[in-house]
A and B are shown apart, each in its own frame.
Chain A
Amino acid sequence: MIDGVGNVSSVLVVGAANPLCLATVDRLVGPRLSRVYALDSNPDSLSRGAQRIADFGVPNVSQLWYPSRDPVAQRAAVTSAFEESDVDVIVIGPSPRTDAASTDAMAIEDNAEYLERALIDIVNLAGQCATSIAQQGHGVMTLFSHSPRKIPANLDHDYCAAMASLHILAPSIAQVTASNGGKTICAAIDPVRDPNSTRDAGVRSSAMSPLEVASEIVPAIVARRKRRTFEVISLPRSLRKSALRIRPGR
């Protein structure tokens, strides 16, 4: 469990290919973080994500592959992580479309398939993780989501739909975790500022960096005050900071 001074000893990452999740693990790395479980349905993304996590300095990284559209196998994957040891923090975020999918016409994923992977699987896994936290009696669930906004045309609508649905489901997931000592933190990112929303370099210049997002939410994850069982952190926190970032010439 998270100790008295905010040291985390184990983390479960659902969506090992999501830069936001990886940046959060990077910020959580400390002297006590000894184990990270990385979950993804794409074997390539999983091994790449696990390698990145190992590069952060985590001594034990376990790769747990789960098949898409198979709730039973997904439940087994989550349960196997919890059976091994207590999990202090769970970080959940739908994986963005792969680079290949955006450039290679042959590799473009079917929209329905991507939605199933990013939305249905993630929601199912989030529910399963919430149940496991409640059984364990402690833990912090971190969800990446989008604040409800009108989505500009140049963003990935399927990804944004998955993120928006996580935002809608967050209170229900928080109820499950809070039923026995868990806490939920929902990072509600402005879709335009989410670095995963688009591959368009022009639009991405105004996005927050993954580490910037992680720096905003990690203090809330390791905070000792447990009175609030559900916290929504709207990002970017300050419009002024955000405006400074996108001002021409900076």
Chain B
Amino acid sequence: MPSDTRTSNTATREARTGSHPGASGSGTHARTLAGIQAAIHAAPARGLTVDFNLGSSLDMCTNNGGDVLTLAGALTAPAVTSIDWQKQSAWLAAGASIADVSRELLVQGWALATLGGTASSTVAGALALDARGPHNSDDSETSGLPRMIEFVDGVGNTRQFVGGAANSPAITAIVAGLGLTGVCTEIELPLRPVSTGWMLVDSRRCETSDEVFAQLSGGPTGVYTMARIDPTGRGTGLGRGIAVSGRFAKVAELPEIRQPNALEYVDCAAGRNASRVPLRVGNAATRRALKGITHRTAAAQRRAELIPMASFFHADCELRAAGRELANTITYEFVVPVDQSEMIPRFLDRIGHLKVVGQAATLTRHAPRATGPLGITTDGWKLTIDLDTDVPGLGRVLDDWDEKVAAAGGQVSLATDSRMRIDMIAAMYPDLAKWQELRRYIDPQGHFSSNLARRLSL
């Protein structure tokens, strides 16, 4: 842990105010624990939000008129403080990016037990979003969850919470807490041993949604599964897509030329590449036609394709993040119960009639896992899709769909939300009052705030 023995003057200098790109609020950098405390004490009336390096397009990470706290210095490097080989866990700097953490862990033959979200987001950000990547049938209810968390609360006190089990304080307070319950400084996360940083990926083109669901339902153990859905499918092709399953490759499975660098971390270039090509080519009809061609020209089946782990776990999220930044799309993510799988093609049909072009749509099996009161607990199917916003009537359709999801016992994700109605939250998140009570206890003066918190009166 960084030393907490600095004087208040140093701490004030530490919480250095600077300009922050975009309109997400003015920026403050904290390099030490004392810097965080100074930033909390100096928080303006419109509050303070933590920069999780998720871009300025998510309401959760922006705080118009308020302050945005960026962790720097000792709070980001070294990314991995220590590794406990017996417990298979590591203490990580909360401000370090997932990419930096993965790079350092991989050299020693480890990977985070749960990988999801964007590679550039911070470890604390991935927890605040409760970001999960492709589904792994091996995962238990507590796999991937923090074992211990150290964070600074709204009063400026350092707290240490134990996690690892469902309903443990660390999970309730921080996981899916949307960054409103404190500033994480260090996190102990579980690891899994790996022999290479590459995934052996099988993919199969599915022409119906039933085929996609069947591909995602089964699967051998230790395999991560997801499907990239083609939102332009119509009729029987509604919900068609490419089902992908992957597992960590063994050294012997790599080509000889790659074997010496088997544990090298290869960055995910999806977001960077997306910024080089125009995301809004032509009109909606052209974009739909291009999407359809992409699906139809994909190979019917690919086996044992080697893909860097970063690309496998983060590429879709990186694409969505790039879309939000560059093309002003919104991300809509919802989970419906397992027995309501027909709602997924129905949703795609609905937005198809509206002539909305969906981007980077992915479908995963969402297994129940311990999470915070604002996390998704539904055991079901999760659809994540980017939607163009310049379509009249989209707001009403999504409002209507929120109601249908809530009535079916599903949940719309708050982490990526940019438009939900206030009254829907109580219907989807029954533990909201419990979370608000916890928030009042941790942050009695309400120092932590964000656009999302203000819009939804959290």
Using a CB–CB cutoff of 8 Å, the interface residues on chain A facing chain B are: 1, 3-7, 9, 30-32, 86, 135-138, 180-182, 223-226
Contacts and interface: CB of A to CB of B under 8 A. Distances in A.
B409 interface: no
A8 to B, nearest CB: 11
B97 interface: no
B396 interface: yes
Given A4-B389, A5-B330, A7-B419, A86 B454 contact: yes
Interface in B418-436: 418-419, 421
B394 interface: yes
Q: Which of A9, A31, A86, A224 has the most CB of B within 10 A?
A: A224
Majority secondary structure of chain A interface residues (helix, strand, loop or mixed): loop
16 contacts: A1-B454, A4-B418, A5-B330, A5-B394, A5-B418, A7-B419, A31-B421, A32-B421, A137-B63, A138-B23, A180-B23, A180-B26, A180-B65, A181-B22, A181-B23, A181-B65
B399 interface: yes
A31 B66 contact: no
Contacts of B24: 181
B64 A138 contact: yes
Given A32-B421, A137-B23, A180-B23, A5 B64 contact: no
Contacts, number: 62
Contacts of A137: 23, 25, 46, 63-66
B59 to A, nearest CB: 8
A225 B328 contact: yes
B390 interface: yes
Contact of A226 (B23, B65, B66, B389): B23
Interface of B: 22-26, 46, 59, 63-66, 328, 330, 389-390, 394-396, 398-399, 418-419, 421, 451, 454-455
A86 B59 CA distance: 15
Nearest to A182: B23
A135 B399 CA distance: 31
Contacts of B454: 1, 86
B99 to A, nearest CB: 27
Contacts of B66: 137
B395 A5 contact: yes
Contacts of B328: 224-225
B419 A224 contact: no
A138 B25 CA distance: 9
Contacts of B395: 3, 5-7, 30-31
Nearest to A4: B418
A6 B388 CA distance: 12
Contacts of B418: 3-5
B399 A31 contact: yes
Given A136-B65, A138-B65, A6 B23 contact: no
A223 B419 contact: no
Which 9 pairs, one residue from A and one from B, show the smallest C-beta to C-beta distance? A137-B65, A181-B23, A4-B418, A137-B64, A5-B395, A138-B64, A4-B330, A4-B419, A3-B419
Contact of A5 (B65, B419, B455): B419
A195 B45 CA distance: 43
A1 B23 contact: no
Contacts of A5: 330, 389, 394-395, 398, 418-419
B260 to A, nearest CB: 46
